[in-house]
């Protein structure tokens, strides 16, 4: 290998010269560019081995420049830098073929390490980047918020694997955003025009789950009045999301393994194989390796599912994400449709930063949502937070007050949940499927909640 040629692109000349010096010292040949247009020109002329560029540049921004670079010089690797790493820019850059993604301010060590790794990767793969005829734009689903280093790793992996058909296993504690990532994978894949079918493996007993997944022929069991297609069939040309896969029984696991191996299913009560073209994404909050060790989960299935693992870090390990998440949820949960987002006092935000978040992002969202209501959409102080002003002291006393506090929290959340369900039922004119859809929950869960809160006859007719 001769001397590697690197193009450094940034509109800030001090950053350019800093990088140039660093990389020249390491033995690379370095050229500079100050605008996106200049980047494209130089790439076309000189085909550098690597371009390091800012996503924000005058004339042509980095993402556009990246596309042009990739189409005019597929062999050139691109490393993206940004001052404010946003999840979408990260995913987008990786999706468009950037080799890695770094946020400013960066450490020089990190740069030389990343550059080295980029070249290693290039040598290793050898294969010239195949040009994608269709460079699709990133579909905005529910936004994934948070730019902490562990979340950036998540975005990188999502960007890399979304377009492939590889099976993905998403792991992580409850409420960390596993379902959100599953959606991001589907909607950024080539299958996005097809269905995304979600099945919770925990919601149903074994035989019902199998009928749900595989469908059944008429009369195949008591109650099977008509033929029904299963979820695998419904997911054809799309993605099936198997949530809480750790709850799947061993016999069903065996059947799933066959589907993965043969890409064919048989309806319950039928021996005719039906081809299915599906991409499988699974999620679990359990330690599947441990389940394997305890013989509760088939090891061969585990290896098949775990081709790509995306681990969602718990919120307590990325508290830097708390403030942007709070902002996001304040904007999402307005006091009324026309209200401005509520604001939060510094001390209340500090409490949120101190808390350990056992329920992760979902818990944070609930806490913010409730605080917006209690503060009437104005300014949230720690009085509106469920862990109160003196929580730490109380925790230390370990007395009854803590459990009183907890039960107050639970009751408030339950009340809040009930109100939301009632509102959805009203808005949907009592149509439960529609209400469940509006709430973004499984119909089955809505039925359970309706029962729990005694809302069977709600809303009363004739309103
Ligand atoms: N990074 C994030 N940015 C914005 N919203 C998030 C993020 N992570 C989670 N959420 C929100 O928190 C809630 C819980 O997320 P999700 O349902 O994806 O969690 P989960 O990991 O599937 O949890 P469980 O294991 O309990 O099913 C959702 O309302 C989701 O929109
Ligand atoms: Mg989930």
- Tell me how far the alpha carbon of residue 81 lies from the centroid of ligand 1, in angstroms: 27
**Beta carbon of 365 within 6 Å of any ligand 1 atom:** yes
What per-residue confidence (pLDDT) applies to 402?
A: 55
**Beta carbon of 288 within 6 Å of any ligand 1 atom:** no
Q: What average pLDDT does range 427-453 have in this prediction?
A: 84
Mark the residues whose beta carbon lies below 5 A from ion ligand 2: 179
Tokens 């540049």 sit on residue: 57
Three-point CA angle 268, 272, 276, nearest 5°: 85
User: Which position has the higher pLDDT, 168 or 59?
Assistant: 168
Binned at pLDDT 50, 70 and 90, residue 82 comes out as: confident
| pLDDT tens for each residue of 275-311 | 999 999 999 999 999 999 999 999 999 999 999 999 9
| pLDDT tens for each residue of 154-197 | 998 998 898 899 999 999 999 999 999 999 999 889 998 899 99
CATH number of 316-452: 1.10.8.60
Non-local (6+) Cβ contacts of 49 within 8 A are 4, 5, 6, 75, 76, 77, 119, 122
What per-residue confidence (pLDDT) applies to 395?
A: 41
Give residue limits of the domains in the chain: 5-125, 161-311, 316-452
Report whether 199 contacts 231 (CB < 8 A). Answer: yes
SS3 assignment for 55-83 = CCCCCCCHHHHHHHHHHHCCCCEEEEEEC
User: Which position has the higher pLDDT, 71 or 407?
Assistant: 71
- Gap between the Cα atoms of 7 and 47, Å rounded: 9
Q: What is the CB-side half-sphere exposure of residue 343 using CA atoms within 13 A?
A: 3
Q: What CATH number matches the domain at 5-125, 1.20.140.10, 3.10.290.10, 3.30.43.10, 3.40.50.2300?
A: 3.40.50.2300
Shortest-distance atom of ligand 1 to CA 170:
21
Q: What average pLDDT does range 359-384 have in this prediction?
A: 93
pLDDT at position 438 over 90: no
pLDDT at position 371 over 90: yes
- 403-421 core/surface letters (b: 16 or more CB in 10 A; e: else): eebeeebeebbeeeebebb
pLDDT at position 445 over 60: yes
What per-residue confidence (pLDDT) applies to 242?
A: 97
Q: In the predicted model, what is the mean pLDDT of the chain?
A: 85
Shortest-distance atom of ligand 1 to CA 87:
1
What per-residue confidence (pLDDT) applies to 363?
A: 95
**Beta carbon of 310 within 6 Å of any ligand 1 atom:** no
**Beta carbon of 173 within 6 Å of any ligand 1 atom:** no
**Beta carbon of 245 within 6 Å of any ligand 1 atom:** no
What per-residue confidence (pLDDT) applies to 207?
A: 82
Fold of 161-311: Rossmann fold (3.40.50)
What per-residue confidence (pLDDT) applies to 136?
A: 31
- Gap between the Cα atoms of 433 and 437, Å rounded: 6
Tell me if domain 161-311 and domain 316-452 are identical in fold.
no
**Beta carbon of 311 within 6 Å of any ligand 1 atom:** no
Bridge partner list, 169: 282, 309
Among 87, 149, 169, 177, name the best residue to mutate to test ligand 1's pocket (greatest count of ligand atoms within 8 A of Cβ).
Answer: 177
Binned at pLDDT 50, 70 and 90, residue 411 comes out as: confident
Does the bond joining 459 to the residue before it have cis omega, within 30 degrees of 0?
Answer: yes
What per-residue confidence (pLDDT) applies to 224?
A: 65
Shortest-distance atom of ligand 1 to CA 178:
21
Binned at pLDDT 50, 70 and 90, residue 130 comes out as: very low
- Tell me how far the alpha carbon of residue 461 lies from the centroid of ligand 2, in angstroms: 34
**Beta carbon of 367 within 6 Å of any ligand 1 atom:** no
- Tell me how far the alpha carbon of residue 185 lies from the centroid of ligand 2, in angstroms: 14
Shortest-distance atom of ligand 1 to CA 180:
18
Tokens 């596993």 sit on residue: 178
- Gap between the Cα atoms of 153 and 67, Å rounded: 22
- Tell me how far the alpha carbon of residue 429 lies from the centroid of ligand 1, in angstroms: 28
What per-residue confidence (pLDDT) applies to 223?
A: 63
- Tell me how far the alpha carbon of residue 331 lies from the centroid of ligand 2, in angstroms: 22
What per-residue confidence (pLDDT) applies to 391?
A: 44
């Amino acid at each position: 290998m001769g001397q590697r040629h690197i193009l450094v692109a940034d509109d800030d000349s001090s950053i350019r010269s800093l990088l140039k010096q660093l990389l020249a010292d390491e033995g690379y040949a370095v050229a500079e560019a100050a605008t996106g247009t200049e980047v494209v020109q130089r790439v076309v002329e000189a085909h550098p081995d690597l371009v390091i560029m800012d996503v924000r540049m005058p004339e042509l921004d980095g993402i556009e420049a990246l596309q042009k670079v990739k189409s005019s010089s597929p062999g050139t690797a691109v490393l993206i830098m940004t001052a404010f790493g946003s999840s979408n820019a990260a995913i987008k850059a990786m999706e468009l073929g950037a080799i890695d993604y770094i946020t400013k301010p960066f450490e020089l060590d990190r740069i030389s390490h990343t550059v080295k790794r980029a070249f290693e990767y290039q040598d290793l793969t050898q294969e010239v980047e195949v040009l994608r005829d269709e460079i699709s734009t990133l579909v905005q689903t529910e936004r994934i918020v948070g730019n902490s280093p562990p979340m950036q790793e998540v975005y990188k992996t999502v960007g890399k694997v979304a377009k492939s058909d590889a099976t993905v296993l998403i792991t992580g504690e409850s409420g960390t955003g596993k379902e959100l990532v599953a959606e991001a994978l589907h909607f950024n894949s080539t299958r996005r025009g097809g269905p995304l079918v979600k099945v919770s493996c925990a919601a149903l007993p074994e035989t019902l789950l199998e009928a749900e997944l595989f469908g059944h022929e008429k009369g195949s069991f008591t109650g099977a009045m008509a033929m029904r297609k299963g979820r695998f069939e419904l997911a054809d040309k799309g993605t099936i999301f198997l949530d809480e896969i750790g709850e799947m029984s061993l016999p069903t696991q065996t059947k799933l393994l066959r589907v993965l191996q043969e890409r064919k299913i048989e309806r319950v009560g039928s021996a005719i194989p039906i081809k299915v073209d599906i991409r499988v994404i699974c999620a679990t909050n359990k330690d599947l390796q441990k389940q394997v060790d305890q013989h509760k989960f088939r090891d061969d299935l585990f290896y098949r599912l775990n081709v790509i693992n995306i681990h969602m870090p718990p919120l307590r390990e990325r508290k830097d994400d708390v403030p942007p998440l709070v902002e996001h949820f304040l904007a999402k949960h307005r006091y009324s449709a026309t209200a401005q987002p509520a604001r939060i006092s510094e001390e209340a935000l500090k409490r949120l930063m101190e808390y350990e978040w056992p329920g992760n992002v979902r818990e944070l969202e609930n806490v913010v949502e409730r605080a917006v209501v209690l503060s009437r959409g104005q300014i949230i102080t720690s009085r509106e937070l469920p862990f109160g002003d003196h929580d730490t002291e109380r925790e230390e006393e370990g007395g009854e007050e803590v459990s009183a506090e907890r039960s107050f929290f639970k009751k408030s959340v339950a009340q809040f949940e009930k109100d939301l369900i009632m509102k959805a039922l009203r808005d949907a004119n009592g149509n439960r499927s529609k209400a469940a859809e509006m709430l973004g929950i499984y119909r089955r869960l809505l039925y359970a909640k309706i029962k729990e809160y005694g809302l069977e006859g709600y809303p009363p007719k004739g309103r």
